[in-house]
Amino acid sequence: MKSLNKFLKDILKGSKPAIARAITIVENDSDYTLLKKLFRSSGKAYYVGITGPPGAGKSTLVNAIAKLLLKKKKRIGIIAVDPTSPFSGGALLGDRVRMTDLALNKNVFIRSMASRGSLGGLAQKTKDVALVLDAAGMDYILIETIGVGQVELDIAQVCDTTAVVGAVPGWSYPIIKTIATTGDGVDQVVVRIEEHRRYLTRSGKLESARKERLFSRINELIEERIRADLHKRLTTQPGLKKIIDDIYNRRRNPFDVAEKILRNSGFVF
Ligand SMILES: Nc1nc2c(ncn2[C@@H]2O[C@H](COP(=O)(O)OP(=O)(O)OP(=O)(O)O)[C@@H](O)[C@H]2O)c(=O)[nH]1
Ligand SMILES: [Mg+2]
């Protein structure tokens, strides 16, 4: 198809409108046609995750890193995953506004993604969007996401390097030197644990964190059952090593392979 080829060429060339269109397709479609085509050109970008609690300074850091990398003549893709949590409520916006000056740079492509309370789907979509940016020739892909609960995107699973930004108001992280074998400094560790516990209890953070963990637990139990079954099917797949080698060498793509395994397992979509 001529128009598809032209579209693909534009993406690979790094054309911003083409990248934007590709991401929109990938975000909204469960059809992998485009990703299958782009996969061959991916694998060159380096993925960096910036995670941490709300307001810790993630966007500011992403901005600063991007500016520094721009000076090194790098092309940068930025994915800002809007933080939403079942307890803290809606998305915290404004990142786009702060990043406007960067967005105008021809070597930067910024995309915000709304998680809309979705659970498992977000990590997958983030990977897909990153794949588009990767194929489009970005040297670095910076992914900002909130990192408090386990329900949210597990960024370390997506990124090559993950930085955790910590600046929690009301509590400063102590660094305590201890020698566990002689017991030196251990009393201080216990004192600080008790202090931290009092702080969490007073601020209500202990209760909200525990509720969030209970929410995650339900989610995990459901996922565990489904995942264990699918994992077994994947690991007992005949010729798996060869399949992985073929994907690594871009002779096959993971989308077709996953579809085939699902189809053969009776998981027809
Ligand atoms: N003093 C100081 N302020 C900072 C630093 N980094 C960020 N800030 C400020 O902290 C506030 C929050 O920064 P953001 O970068 O928006 O934090 P964030 O983690 O992206 O926030 P969310 O995406 O809303 O979770 C802003 O007012 C920043 O100017 C820092 O290193 N030092
Ligand atoms: Mg932010």
pLDDT digit string, tens, across residues 36-67: 999 999 999 999 999 888 888 888 899 999 99
- Among protein residues, the one with the nearest Cα to ligand 1's atom 24 is 55
The contacts found for 13-18 with CB under 8 angstroms, 24 or more apart, are 13/136, 13/137, 14/75, 14/109, 14/136, 14/137, 14/138, 16/106, 16/109, 18/136
Q: How far is the CA of 56 from the centre of ligand 1 (A)?
A: 5
Q: Which atom of ligand 1 lies at the shortest distance from residue 146's CA?
A: 25
State yes or no: pLDDT of 85 exceeds 70: no
The DSSP code sequence of 52-85 is ESTTSSHHHHHHHHHHHHHHTT--EEEEEE---B
pLDDT recorded at residue 92: 40
Per domain, the residue ranges of the chain are 2-164, 171-203, 206-264
Give the CA radius of gyration of the chain: 22
Q: Which atom of ligand 1 lies at the shortest distance from residue 63's CA?
A: 15
CATH 3.10.50.40 fits 2-164, yes or no: no
- Among protein residues, the one with the nearest Cα to ligand 1's atom 5 is 57
Burial of residue 163 (CB within 10 Å: 0-12, 13-18, 19+) is middle
pLDDT digits (tens, 9 = 90+) for 204-253: 989 998 998 899 899 889 888 888 888 888 888 889 999 999 999 999 99
Q: Which atom of ligand 1 lies at the shortest distance from residue 55's CA?
A: 21
pLDDT recorded at residue 164: 84
- Tell me the whole-structure pTM to 2 decimals: 0.71
- Name the percent of the chain lying above pLDDT 70: 85
pLDDT recorded at residue 72: 97
pLDDT band at 94 (very low <50, low <70, confident <90, very high): very low
